[in-house]
A and B are shown apart, each in its own frame.
Chain A
Amino acid sequence: DQQVKQNSPSLSVQEGRISILNCDYTNSMFDYFLWYKKYPAEGPTFLISISSIKDKNEDGRFTVFLNKSAKHLSLHIVPSQPGDSAVYFCAASARNSGYALNFGKGTSLLVTP
């Protein structure tokens, strides 16, 4: 059963606007959340993460928000750039499972000029 869900397979945003990618999870034991970005023909690359003790983490144009009560996190990209066009995967980890990552199915982001 999918424990990490990305319900939007794709998203299209104009350059300069905000991109918001959403992720929901079902396992309350998850305590660390990550976003990965993947270009075609390349492996996923780590983008940003957040621990369950925080509700926000920011790194340049990228901000991740965590709402533990709703079991929901989101990735905001501001401003969006054409180079941000990629597939974004949400992943979650539970402390008692070692470093195992549970991935969502991914959201394909297209940033148009």
Chain B
Amino acid sequence: EAQVTQNPRYLITVTGKKLTVTCSQNMNHEYMSWYRQDPGLGLRQIYYSMNVEVTDKGDVPEGYKVSRKEKRNFPLILESPSPNQTSLYFCASSPGVEQYFGPGTRLTVT
């Protein structure tokens, strides 16, 4: 089944404790991206990757890092999480403009 998977689905952590949210797709898409969804703000792009080893900032990249060492994986790294990064995170991949989203990761930073 063609899908985008994210892990973990839920995470509660404390300020400053480094964490990684994994994202994997099995559709051989070159383009992958990360979004966060906050109440009243819709979805905002954090980072995207056009291909392996090619990444770029989206609209809200501060406090996040990404890497793209393999085509199928695009992890999101929070080196020092802060409470304002409490949000619902979505990974997406696409062969073109129409992006396919993962199920989401709900992150709470206390």
Q: Which residues of A contact B (CB under 8 A)?
A: 4, 6, 32, 34, 36, 41-46, 49, 89, 93, 98-101, 103-106
Q: How many A-B residue pairs have CB under 8 A?
A: 56
Residue of B nearest to A40 (CB): B104
Main secondary structure of the interface of A (DSSP, over half): loop
Counting chain B residues whose Cβ lies within 8 A of the other chain, the interface size class is 20 to 34
- A105 and B42 alpha carbons, distance in the complex (Å): 4
Which residues between 17 and 74 of chain B lie within 8 Å of chain A, taking CB atoms?
31, 33, 35, 40-45, 48, 50, 58
Which 8 A/B pairs are nearest by Cβ-Cβ distance?
A43-B101, A105-B42, A103-B43, A103-B42, A44-B101, A93-B97, A43-B103, A99-B31
Q: Which residues of B contact A (CB under 8 A)?
A: 4, 31, 33, 35, 40-45, 48, 50, 58, 90, 92, 94, 96-104
20 contacts between A and B (CB under 8 A): A4-B42, A32-B97, A36-B101, A43-B92, A43-B101, A43-B102, A46-B98, A46-B99, A46-B100, A89-B42, A98-B48, A99-B33, A99-B97, A100-B45, A100-B48, A103-B42, A103-B43, A105-B40, A105-B42, A106-B42
